[in-house]
């Protein structure tokens, strides 16, 4: 029951960590999404979408050994007591979808989707609890050619968005290589899963914390600027240095990097397998002409534990200013990797899969930072406003605005109750290029006045002694016969195109 009759008022406020979006942001995001969609379609990926709600169990989001959902997700119980959660990414729901529709899908199954995801986390500046991702995944291919294809698609997509080849790089690594390094450092085995996750997340912070910060996270732990302490992996000094050396193993060419990696994994069979997969991918990049845009980089590990093979990240390399005004690389706008275990949760047999996720808001920010016409060049010109001076003549004004719309001109009738000056101010706030004015004088003559608001604003800002002032003033506001309003408005609109 809507409580609309209550006399007490309710405070109007967004929930913490959520945001409204205005026309400029919606328009910019839609243009960008359209370009990404076109790129993914070219690669043979097809659209599929899942709902916002899944069984908590399907998301794998119960707390360990408890019947309570993880606090990081928004959860609620259905009327049959089953726990439901808002999706926290687009990968887990895709795994559910593929498992549920396995026999119907032509495999390998390439698909893409964009959508909002939700995190029940402490909100902060720039940290939202609802944000948009754009994912592409190939399910049912064990070949690293599938991973390579997605890396190339990521590169093509960034170029299609107008990001030059010198301004981005796709970095590729392989979890098996890291496993090999850990093994060679004496850190293998199932019992080490939690420790390994700490190692992954530590390496993932290299960009932000540098080698010294990561060294602390691999060792005893690290206290950040706010005083918060992050537990470390408690590795021995020799293991820490071995891992740090591995992350720094990138060489000028993919071939040289691969040789470094082969040395780093030593005799580890899993490590060697990872290096061989990276060699295969490097050959595909070279054959298709992507060398230089896609680099093997051991510093890329990705913080999610479910990756099982190749991992990759799209990084923008141009500089922007950070919050202290210092130049920093823009950084990651997306990433992904192979997750052969996620669909297996449902099917009990391994189903190979690999996928890439773009952080949509972050990519829009990047395009804004580089003044991309895709997001900033949109024509945000407001509608033509037809003023209402005599309220009893509404049908007449309505006809004018209907005629304008019928001619394809964005137009509106002023619907408020203010006077003429306030109506013109309203038209300015709306970004209107032009106003149509008809008072009783004009009406009796069968005329209307057209006011060019763009030219009018220019004139108001200029001096009256310029030579063409009078001529311009005549162009900025003039009378036309009622039957010629549409043509006159068209003429005014064509001036500022």
Decide if residue 68 touches its own copies (CB under 8 A): no
Q: Which of 145, 320, 369, 454 binds its own copies (CB under 8 A)?
A: 145
Of 478-497, binders to its own copies (CB under 8 A) are none
Name beta bridge partners: 411: 384
Decide if residue 399 touches its own copies (CB under 8 A): yes
Nearest to 121 by CA among 112, 113, 131, 111: 131
Burial class (CB in 10 A: 0-12, 13-18, 19+), 298: buried
Compute the radius of gyration of the chain from its Cα atoms: 30
Decide if residue 99 touches its own copies (CB under 8 A): yes
Nearer to its own copies, 21 or 329 (CB): 21
Decide if residue 152 touches its own copies (CB under 8 A): yes
Site map for its own copies, 102-141, x if CB under 8 A? ----xxx-x-----x-x-x--------xx-------x-xx
Shortest distance, CB of residue 328 to its own copies, whole angstroms?
29
* Distances 62 to 19, 42, 55, 82 between C-alpha atoms, Å: 27, 38, 10, 12
Site map for its own copies, 33-52, x if CB under 8 A? --------xxxx-xxxxxxx
Nearer to its own copies, 208 or 347 (CB): 347
Decide if residue 16 touches its own copies (CB under 8 A): yes
Nearer to its own copies, 142 or 420 (CB): 142
Nearest to 481 by CA among 430, 442, 451: 442
Nearest to 187 by CA among 249, 151, 240: 240
Decide if residue 143 touches its own copies (CB under 8 A): yes
Shortest distance, CB of residue 120 to its own copies, whole angstroms?
8
Half-sphere exposure of 177 (CA within 13 A, CB side): 29
d(CA 111, CA 135): 8
Angle (CA) 277 283 289, round 5°? 135
Which bin fits 235, alpha (ψ -120 to 50), beta or left (φ > 0)?
Answer: beta
Nearer to its own copies, 325 or 348 (CB): 348
Shortest distance, CB of residue 200 to its own copies, whole angstroms?
13
Q: Which of 209, 216, 286, 420 binds its own copies (CB under 8 A)?
A: 286
d(CA 102, CA 141): 14
Residues 472/478/483/488 CA torsion (nearest 10 deg): 20
Decide if residue 346 touches its own copies (CB under 8 A): yes
With a CB cutoff of 8 Å and minimum separation 6, the contacts of 163 are 316, 366, 367, 370
Q: Which stretch binds its own copies (CB under 8 A): 2-10, 217-225, 227-235, 256-264?
A: 2-10
Nearest to 361 by CA among 89, 130, 120, 162: 130
Decide if residue 323 touches its own copies (CB under 8 A): no
Of 411-440, binders to its own copies (CB under 8 A) are 411-417, 426, 429-430
Decide if residue 22 touches its own copies (CB under 8 A): yes
Decide if residue 230 touches its own copies (CB under 8 A): no
Length of the chain in terms of residues written = 497
Q: Which stretch binds its own copies (CB under 8 A): 169-177, 235-243, 355-363, 395-403?
A: 395-403
> String of b and e for 161-196 (b: at least 16 CB within 10 Å)?
bebeeebbbbbbbbbbbbbbbbbbbebeeeeeeebb
Q: Which of 32, 36, 97, 476 binds its own copies (CB under 8 A)?
A: 97
Decide if residue 330 touches its own copies (CB under 8 A): no
Q: Which of 63, 211, 263, 481 binds its own copies (CB under 8 A)?
A: 63
Shortest distance, CB of residue 33 to its own copies, whole angstroms?
10
For residue 133, give both structure tokens. 């991702």
Nearer to its own copies, 126 or 348 (CB): 348
Shortest distance, CB of residue 170 to its own copies, whole angstroms?
15
- Give all strands (DSSP E) within 205-309, no chain letters: 221-223, 229-231, 294-296
Shortest distance, CB of residue 97 to its own copies, whole angstroms?
6
Nearer to its own copies, 327 or 348 (CB): 348
Decide if residue 66 touches its own copies (CB under 8 A): no
């Amino acid at each position: 029951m809507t409580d609309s009759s209550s006399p007490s008022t309710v405070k109007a406020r967004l929930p913490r960590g959520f945001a409204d979006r205005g026309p400029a942001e919606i328009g910019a995001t839609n243009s960008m999404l359209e370009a990404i969609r076109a790129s993914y379609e070219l690669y043979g990926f097809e659209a599929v979408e899942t709902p916002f709600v899944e069984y908590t169990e399907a998301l794998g989001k119960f707390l360990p050994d408890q019947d309570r959902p993880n606090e990081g997700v928004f959860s609620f119980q259905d009327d049959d007591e089953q726990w439901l959660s808002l999706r926290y990414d687009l990968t887990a729901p895709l795994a559910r979808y593929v498992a549920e529709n396995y026999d119907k899908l032509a495999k390998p199954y390439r698909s893409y989707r964009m959508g909002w995801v939700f995190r029940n986390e402490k909100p902060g500046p720039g940290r939202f609890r609802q944000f948009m991702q754009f994912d592409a995944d190939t399910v049912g291919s064990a070949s690293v050619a599938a991973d390579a294809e997605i890396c190339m698609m990521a590169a093509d997509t960034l170029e299609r968005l107008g990001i030059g080849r010198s301004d981005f790089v796709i970095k590729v690594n392989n979890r098996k290589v890291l496993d090999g390094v850990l093994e060679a450092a004496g850190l293998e085995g199932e019992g080490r899963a939690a420790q390994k996750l700490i190692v992954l997340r530590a390496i993932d912070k290299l960009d932000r914390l540098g080698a010294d910060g990561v060294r602390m996270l691999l060792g005893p732990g690290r206290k950040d600027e706010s005083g918060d302490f992050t537990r470390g992996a408690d590795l021995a000094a020799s293991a820490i240095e071995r891992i740090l050396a591995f992350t720094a193993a990138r060489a000028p060419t993919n071939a040289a990097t691969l040789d470094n990696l082969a040395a780093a994994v030593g005799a580890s069979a899993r490590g060697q397998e990872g290096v061989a997969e990276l060699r295969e991918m490097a050959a595909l990049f070279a054959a298709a002409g992507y060398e230089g845009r896609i680099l093997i980089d051991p510093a890329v590990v990705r913080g999610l534990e479910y990756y099982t093979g190749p991992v990759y990240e799209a990084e923008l390399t141009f500089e922007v200013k950070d919050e202290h005004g210092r130049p920093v690389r823009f950084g990651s706008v997306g990433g992904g990797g192979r997750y052969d275990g996620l669909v297996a949760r449902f099917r009990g047999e391994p189903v190979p899969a690999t996928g890439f996720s773009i952080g949509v808001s972050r990519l829009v920010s990047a395009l804004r930072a580089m003044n991309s016409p895709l997001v900033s060049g949109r024509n945000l010109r407001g509608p033509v406003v037809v003023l209402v001076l005599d309220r009893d003549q509404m049908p007449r004004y309505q006809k004018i605005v209907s005629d304008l719309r019928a001619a394809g001109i964005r137009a509106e009738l002023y619907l408020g109750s203010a006077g003429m000056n306030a109506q013109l101010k309203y038209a300015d706030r709306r970004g209107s290029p032009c106003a149509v004015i008809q008072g009783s004088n004009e009406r009796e003559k069968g005329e209307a006045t057209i006011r060019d608001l763009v030219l009018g604003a220019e004139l108001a800002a200029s001096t009256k002694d310029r030579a063409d002032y009078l001529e311009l003033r005549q162009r900025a506001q003039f009378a036309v016969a009622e039957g010629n309003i549409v043509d006159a408005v068209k003429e005014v609109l064509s001036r500022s195109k």
